[in-house]
Amino acid sequence: MTELELAGLGVRIEIRRSTEDLLEFDVVGRARGFLAQEHVHVGQSERLEVIEGMLRLVLDGDERVLREGEAMEVPAGVPHRQLPAGDGDGRVRVQVRPAGRTREFLERLAGLRVNRWGYPRILDGAELIRDFGAEGHATRPSPRVQRAFAALVLRLASREYSFVDEWEVAAPPEAVFRTIADARTYPLWWRPVYLGVDAEGEPRVGTQSRQHFKGRLPYHLRTRSRITRVEPPHVIAADVDGDLRGHGEWTLTATDTGTHVRFDWNVSADRPLLRALSPLLRPALRWNHAWAIARAREGLEPFARSVAAVARGGTSTAAG
């Protein structure tokens, strides 16, 4: 038997049986706060049997008090709430069919941070709605409003950033690819963003490099990248960790005038100050990224054209 302590919600969960078709568990104590609100199980039925004490069951607006030995079925989709009755702790045996993700939900509740009234913090509640709202939810406000509110909270609290930048470069794909693939060239053309790059060697899957760069905002970042995909002259991608953690991917497509460049940058802030300030600084950080990309637009084309000239046997002047 597995026990889960939900002290902030007034109960202990004792899981007795767990299969794909059935989850059976005892709820011991006096449920409060979040657990006592009216809710709906979208695709699961629930059987409640009182083992000790009493239970007030409000089923679609009708209230009934169940005593020891009494049980009642709650069909899927019917609003209901379970409230303690009488004195002292009770024990209610619950059977959920099919089991679905109920055990995962209960385990999440065991680690839930709740306030003194037994309700989760706003961010934790939003995550519950996001992860489990399709299977069960409070009856009020409407599920649509709950989902919209959760999405807003999660977006404001997110430390993740997703950028997609595209532009045209008047240079052949081979030259653009060589420029982008070799991170050691970045301080030469992506100025003044990249201050230094230390790479292990030629770009290939597994090659690592370390970057020191900055934006318009007054802070410097240091990252380490490892190349995960190399397909000359079209794609190069890398995983990143350090002050930023995530993934970057360059995609190059030949055009009549040169190369179409697409840069996908999906990262989250790992530096403590950036993590703490991300919700407040999100517009500024996006502006900072736009400024940095503008510098890439300015520097990539002339440098790639110089690379192409060298390949043809000409003279390079862009890297001076």
Q: What is the CATH number of the domain that holds 201?
A: 3.30.530.20
Question: Does residue 143 sit within a domain?
Answer: no
User: Do 102 and 164 share a domain, yes or no?
Assistant: no
Which residues, listed in sequence order, are joined to residue 225 by a DSSP beta bridge? 209, 240
Distance CA 107, CA 25 (A): 12
Question: Does residue 213 sit within a domain?
Answer: yes
Q: Which domain holds residue 58?
A: 2-113
Question: Does residue 32 sit within a domain?
Answer: yes
- Among the candidates 113, 145, 179, a domain finishes at 113
Question: Does residue 140 sit within a domain?
Answer: no
**For position 227, what pLDDT does the model report?**
95
79, 38 in Cβ contact below 8 A?
yes
| DSSP state letter for 2 | E
Question: Does residue 298 sit within a domain?
Answer: yes
Question: Does residue 35 sit within a domain?
Answer: yes
Q: Which residues does 292 contact at the CB level (< 8 Å), separation at least 6?
A: 193, 213, 215, 216
Question: Does residue 319 sit within a domain?
Answer: no
Burial of 61 (0-12, 13-18, 19+ CB in 10 A): exposed
pLDDT for 250-288, tens place per residue?
999 999 999 999 999 998 876 665 555 556 566 777 888
3-class secondary structure, 237: strand
- Among the candidates 49, 81, 113, a domain finishes at 113
Q: What is the CATH number of the domain that holds 30?
A: 2.60.120.10
**For position 317, what pLDDT does the model report?**
47
Low-confidence ranges of the chain (pLDDT < 70): 156-159, 270-282, 314-320
> What DSSP line would sit under 54-87, residue for residue?
EEEEEETTEEEEE-TT-EEEE-TT--EEEEEESS
Question: Does residue 249 sit within a domain?
Answer: yes
User: Do 36 and 174 share a domain, yes or no?
Assistant: no
User: Do 79 and 186 share a domain, yes or no?
Assistant: no
Q: How much is the CA Rg of the chain, to the nearest whole Å?
A: 29
User: Do 100 and 224 share a domain, yes or no?
Assistant: no
User: Do 276 and 206 share a domain, yes or no?
Assistant: yes
Q: Which two tokens stand for residue 42?
A: 């979208």
Q: How many domains does the chain have?
A: 2
User: Do 206 and 63 share a domain, yes or no?
Assistant: no
Q: Which residues does 231 contact at the CB level (< 8 Å), separation at least 6?
A: none
The angle subtended at Cα 302 by Cα 298 and Cα 303, nearest 5°, is: 105
3-class secondary structure, 148: helix
User: Do 187 and 93 share a domain, yes or no?
Assistant: no
Nearest of 99, 148, 115, 105 to residue 34 by alpha carbon: 115
Nearest of 123, 127, 83, 84 to residue 105 by alpha carbon: 127
**For position 279, what pLDDT does the model report?**
60
User: Do 54 and 165 share a domain, yes or no?
Assistant: no
Quote the distance between the C-alpha of residue 228 and its chain's center.
21
